[in-house]
Amino acid sequence: MKAVKGNKVYIVDETTKQNYAKVGFDIYDDNDNVIEYGAGKKVDYNKYAELKAENSELKTENEKLKAEIETLKINSMTVDQLKAYAAEHEIDLGDATTKDAIIAKLGE
């Protein structure tokens, strides 16, 4: 294992890795995979802002995709399934009896 911080690299074992991690060294296994991040890490504000914006965009996209999936699911239902869906979601269908009319009521 290695403990890495900046340009310092130390060979560590199970008994010493926690001490290095506590003072900010990242611990890597023999294949250079991070096992544990060192304490006291900070993220650059610009990187934080970039990730926050990306997260917001992805959440918006995710909500749009969920809505599209729901629309596709509804459009593939039979009249009986649509009536059950409306009842489950407490949606009043009024006098709608055809598939198109029920889907229109669900869209309201």
- Residue 66's pLDDT band (cuts 50, 70, 90): very high
How confident is the model at residue 57, as a pLDDT? Answer: 98
What the block records as the tokens of 97 is 């009896």
Total structural domains within the chain = 3
How confident is the model at residue 65, as a pLDDT? Answer: 97
Q: Give the chain's end-to-end CA distance (angstroms, integer).
A: 61
Whether 32 and 46 share a structural domain: no
Whether 47 and 32 share a structural domain: no
- Residue 108's pLDDT band (cuts 50, 70, 90): confident
**How large is the C-alpha radius of gyration of the chain?**
27
Task: Please give the residue range of the domain that contains residue 87.
Answer: 77-108
Q: Where are the beta strands (DSSP E) in 1-108?
A: 2-5, 8-11, 26-28, 34-36
What the block records as the tokens of 95 is 């006098």
Q: pLDDT tens for residues 74-93?
A: 999 999 999 998 999 898 98
